[in-house]
Amino acid sequence: MGAEERAPCAPEAPLLVFTDLDGTLLDHHGYGWQGAAAALAALKERGAPLVFVSSKTRAELLPLQEQMGLAGLPLVAENGGVVFVPPAWRDPLEAAGDQISFSPAGVVCLGAPYARVRQVFARLRQDYGAVGFGDMEAAEIAARTGLDLRSAARAKERECSEPFVCHADVAVLKKAVASAGMTVTCGGRFFHLLAAGQDKGKAVRFLATLYAQMRKQPVLTIGLGDAPNDLPLLRAVDIPVVVPRPDGSRLAWPEGRPRLAPLAGSQGWGEAMIRLLAELDGQA
Least spacing, CB of residue 188 vs Mg ion, in Å: 8
φ, ψ of residue 130 in degrees (nearest 5): -65, 145
Nearer to Mg ion, 100 or 147 (CB): 147
**Rounded CA gap, 3 and 257, in Å?**
6
**Rounded CA gap, 86 and 66, in Å?**
15
Least spacing, CB of residue 118 vs Mg ion, in Å: 25
Nearer to Mg ion, 159 or 226 (CB): 226
Alpha-carbon torsion angle 68, 69, 73, 77, nearest 10: 20
Q: Which stretch binds Mg ion (CB under 5 A): 18-26, 122-130, 132-140, 264-272?
A: 18-26
Exactly one of 20, 27, 199, 238 is catalytic; which is it?
20
31 binds Mg ion (CB under 5 A): no
Q: Which stretch binds Mg ion (CB under 5 A): 22-30, 98-106, 118-126, 247-255?
A: 22-30
Number of residues that bind Mg ion (CB under 5 A): 6
Instruction: Render 114-145 in DSSP notation, one character per residue.
Output: HHHHHHHHHHHHHHH--EEGGGS-HHHHHHHH
Nearer to Mg ion, 129 or 188 (CB): 188
Mark whether 20 is an active-site residue. Answer: yes
Buried b or exposed e, range 135-174, using 16+ CB within 10 angstroms: ebebeebbeeeebeeebbbbbbebbbbbbbebeeeeeebb
Least spacing, CB of residue 6 vs Mg ion, in Å: 21
Instruction: Please state, as a whole number, how many other Cβ atoms lie within 10 Å of the Cβ of residue 27.
Output: 21
Give the DSSP H/E element, type plus range, for residue 58.
helix 58-67
* One residue of 14, 23, 74, 132 binding Mg ion per CB under 5 A: 23
Buried b or exposed e, range 98-128, using 16+ CB within 10 angstroms: eeeebeeeebbbbbbebebbbebbebbbeee
Least spacing, CB of residue 228 vs Mg ion, in Å: 9
Binders in 153-212 for Mg ion, by CB under 5 A: none
20 binds Mg ion (CB under 5 A): yes
Nearer to Mg ion, 177 or 237 (CB): 237
**Rounded CA gap, 100 and 106, in Å?**
11
β-partners of residue 194 are: 183
Nearer to Mg ion, 22 or 279 (CB): 22
Least spacing, CB of residue 233 vs Mg ion, in Å: 10
Binders in 220-279 for Mg ion, by CB under 5 A: 226-227
φ, ψ of residue 251 in degrees (nearest 5): -55, 130
Q: Which stretch binds Mg ion (CB under 5 A): 2-10, 13-21, 70-78, 172-180?
A: 13-21
22 binds Mg ion (CB under 5 A): yes
Nearer to Mg ion, 28 or 125 (CB): 28
Instruction: Catalog residues that contact Mg ion under the rule CB under 5 A.
Output: 20, 22-24, 226-227
Residues with catalytic roles: 20
